[in-house]
């Protein structure tokens, strides 16, 4: 009830607030607040809310996990579900799938639809998106992020955030920063060069702040150079709030605050989840003993900390409120609906990546009378549940089997599990009680009866898979799937594999199968989207947002041994430095299994007439690159033009090439299009550690124009004067 009694007061406070007078109104409110009221606003009062000030009509702030949908309601003081019947939502594809679309317009539609559902659920902060860089294929949380390339992540996150926030809901960018593994995430100390920090790990955060104007940011669990990142002088005070001018709220990850003085001094504004279930053994509220609660107040009263530190935090919180729950023109939002499902399905369809297609195995004719064996647990397993905080309570989740059955109505569809993983359980693995050999034998018998086999495997949201809290144990497929796929291939040569995962996996069986599709976690419309691609209703156009190494040691982070990943239990060293992902593969000439930016189509494309507008450029100029794209195949489809840049004879270590521009182009059969892309010369600078600033090297550069990092159509030399 108390969430609604202050509505009239909120409207009065928020009426006619503009950017010009917001600060004045905030200053006026600050003068009326007591010390205790201000302290209360800087820490949690429940698992997902922080208190307001009822006597002044200042509302509570309500948060919800994201970033793929609004999480089911959680109990006030525990991680149990609250048991609501009105909190079912649209489950949107995981952010890896969004990144694979290489389509910023879809990112905008994603954010808008998600923001509408968050607003309808009366949320003020949606805890997402995540833009931590894909450094290792073992990271259990990679599926929540946008891949290995900082330019791709930055380009896709900006419209996503704008879409959410136009609904009067704050996106909460996470996890700032260097939270690139789940193992030992609560304490591991990351040592990385300033150059790699600024060139690889911070650009997406910077774009979210300076271009999208994100209203809140979440601190990470890990340490950086011996200081926890949630209250970090350099990362927060100097860079985030200093250099970038972030004027929003820094929220702790749940339990990531560790010290009152550092939290006060180094930028933490709202402390959440510090190891309490509300009431403890006494009658006092345990939330009052958070680092930014009574201990903070006592240090101010003793003169050990300046009250101005508290005022800055409250000022930021009030600014967030004027943008969200104290805004007079805030939209009402919309519950999950067919329009949101259509957005989810479109993103899923465009994000699916066709990796192999020998003898045009895909698409499969949906009108042909035949027997199709659908084998694999991931054809029927719910993949919106589990995974940690990104778990979702989908109103409806269309399984791949259901999608195939609905689209291939003329075929006889037979299903066999082949393997079983057991139910998802956070913090532990619950093994299946079914006999693995019996499952394999049954699947082989089914495969032998079929005209073709569609195998749905990969990973899932169980512990030590794609799940928050810990990492994978290896890059191999779990639950005996490699053995199963090999046996299926011997039983039926017409075998296509559909992998559902948020991470790269080893594929020792790749030569034995005719087709491979990377399908990601696709949410509510997963089955329809996958069936759309398999049937040819949708021409695949997704591109890999991270490299698939042949084996784990081919990955840069793992090539340097345990001190690089996962560390020695206390500290880890990013020894690969700036050579993350395809930068490592290209520069070290280590051939990947599938390259960054790679993805096949049911049609074919040709790039021609590739050129720059001139041969030399000065500081601040735009390098304009033009090319013609022709659909040379037999179907309409989309291609992603990718432009990489490399410095010749650099005075510092550089990657062979780096993504600097991309554009998705849709063409009908036989259609031609002329495209133009531009790169700011200043974006070719490297971060110079000798001056702690960006340095644009003069000299010759190569422009690489192609459709994948390893599929370059033409190189053009330019000069920077």
Weakly modelled stretches of the chain, pLDDT under 70? 1-20, 276-284
SS (H, E, C) 183-244: CCCCCCEEECCHHHHHHHHCHHHHHHHHCCCCCEEEECCCEECCEEHHHCHHHHHHHHHHHC
Residue 19: predicted pLDDT: 65
**What is the per-residue pLDDT for 78?**
86
List 65, 124, 149, 253, catalytic entry: 253
- Summarised one tens digit per residue, pLDDT across range 120-155 is 999 999 999 999 999 999 999 999 999 999 999 999
Residue with tokens 């491979």: 516
State the pLDDT at residue 21: 87
Residue indicated by tokens 């589990």:
386
Active site residue 253: yes
If DSSP codes are grouped into helix, strand and coil, which group holds residue 573? strand
Helix, strand and coil in the chain, % to nearest 5: 30, 20, 45
Domains by residue range for the chain, with CATH: 7-323 (3.20.20.300), 352-546 (3.40.50.1700), 603-720 (2.60.40.10)
d(CA 198, CA 621): 22
Number of residues that this document lists for the chain: 721
Interstrand relation of 452-458 and 371-375 (parallel, antiparallel or unpaired): parallel
Residue 401's closest CA among 379, 384, 420, 418?
379
Q: What is the pLDDT of residue 554?
A: 98
pLDDT for the residue 286: 84
Question: In this predicted structure, what is the pLDDT of residue 552?
Answer: 98
């Amino acid at each position: 009830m108390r969430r609604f009694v202050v509505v009239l007061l909120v409207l009065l406070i928020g009426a006619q607030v503009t950017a010009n007078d917001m600060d004045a109104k905030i200053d006026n409110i600050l003068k009326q607040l007591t010390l205790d009221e201000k302290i209360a606003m800087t820490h949690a009062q429940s698992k997902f809310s922080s208190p307001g000030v009822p006597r002044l009509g200042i509302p509570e702030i309500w948060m919800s996990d994201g970033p793929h949908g609004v999480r089911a309601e959680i109990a006030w003081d525990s991680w149990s579900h609250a048991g609501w019947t009105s909190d079912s939502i649209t489950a949107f594809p995981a952010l890896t799938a969004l990144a694979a679309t290489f389509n910023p317009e879809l990112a905008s539609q994603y954010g808008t639809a998600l923001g509408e559902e968050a607003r309808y659920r009366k949320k003020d902060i949606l805890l997402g998106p995540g833009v931590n860089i894909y450094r290792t294929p073992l990271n259990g949380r990679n599926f929540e992020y946008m891949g290995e390339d900082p330019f791709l992540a930055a380009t896709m996150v900006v419209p996503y955030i704008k879409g959410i926030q136009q609904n009067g809901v704050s996106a909460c960018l996470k996890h700032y920063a260097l939270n690139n593994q789940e193992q030992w995430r609560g304490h591991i100390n990351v040592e990385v060069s300033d150059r790699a920090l600024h060139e690889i790990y911070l650009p997406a955060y910077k774009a979210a702040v300076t271009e999208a104007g994100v209203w809140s940011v979440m601190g990470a669990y890990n340490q950086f150079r011996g200081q926890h990142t949630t209250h970090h002088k350099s990362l927060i005070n100097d860079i985030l709030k200093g250099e970038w001018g972030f004027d929003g709220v820094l929220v702790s990850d749940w339990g990531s605050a560790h010290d009152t003085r550092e939290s006060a001094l180094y930028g933490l504004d709202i402390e959440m989840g510090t190891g309490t279930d509300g009431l403890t053994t006494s009658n006092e509220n345990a939330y009052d003993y958070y680092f930014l609660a009574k201990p903070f107040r006592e240090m101010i009263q003793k003169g050990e900390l300046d009250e101005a530190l508290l005022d800055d935090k409250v000022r930021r919180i009030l600014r967030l409120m004027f943008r969200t729950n104290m805004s007079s023109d805030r939209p009402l939002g919309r519950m999950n609906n067919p329009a949101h499902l259509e957005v989810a399905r479109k993103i899923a369809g465009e994000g699916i990546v066709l990796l192999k297609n020998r003898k045009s195995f895909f698409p499969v004719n949906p009108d042909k009378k035949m027997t199709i064996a659908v084998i694999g647990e991931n054809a029927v397993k719910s993949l919106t549940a589990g995974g940690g905080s990104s778990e979702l309570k989908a109103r409806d989740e269309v399984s791949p089997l259901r999608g195939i059955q609905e689209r291939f109505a003329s075929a006889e569809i037979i299903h066999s599990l082949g393997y079983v993983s057991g139910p998802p359980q956070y913090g532990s693995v619950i093994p299946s009680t079914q006999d693995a050999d019996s499952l394999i034998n049954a699947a082989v018998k089914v495969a032998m009866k079929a005209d073709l086999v569609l195998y749905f495997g990969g990973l899932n949201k169980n512990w030590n898979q794609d799940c928050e809290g810990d990492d994978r144990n290896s890059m191999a497929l779990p639950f005996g799937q490699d053995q199963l796929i090999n046996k299926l291939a011997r039983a039926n040569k017409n075998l296509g594999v559909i992998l559902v995962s948020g991470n790269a996996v080893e594929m020792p069986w790749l030569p034995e199968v005719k087709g491979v599709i990377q399908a990601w976690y696709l949410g509510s419309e997963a089955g329809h989207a996958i069936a759309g691609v398999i049937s040819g209703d949708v021409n695949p156009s997704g591109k890999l947002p991270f490299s698939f190494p042949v084996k784990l040691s081919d990955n840069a982070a793992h090539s340097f041994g345990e001190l690089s990943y996962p560390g020695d239990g206390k500290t880890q060293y990013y020894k690969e430095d700036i050579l993350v992902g395809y930068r490592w593969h290209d520069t070290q000439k280590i051939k990947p299994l599938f390259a960054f930016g790679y993805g096949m189509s049911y049609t074919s494309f040709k790039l021609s007439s590739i050129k720059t507008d001139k041969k030399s450029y000065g500081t601040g100029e735009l390098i304009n690159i033009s090319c013609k794209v022709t659909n040379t195949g037999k179907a309409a489809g989309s291609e992603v033009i990718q432009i990489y840049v490399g410095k010749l004879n650099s005075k510092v270590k550089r990657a062979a090439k780096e993504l600097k521009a991309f554009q998705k182009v849709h063409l009908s059969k036989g259609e031609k299009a002329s495209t133009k892309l531009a790169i700011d010369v200043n974006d070719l600078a490297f971060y110079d550690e000798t001056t702690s600033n960006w340095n644009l090297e003069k000299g010759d550069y190569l422009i690489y124009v192609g459709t994948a990092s390893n599929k370059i159509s033409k190189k053009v030399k330019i000069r920077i004067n």
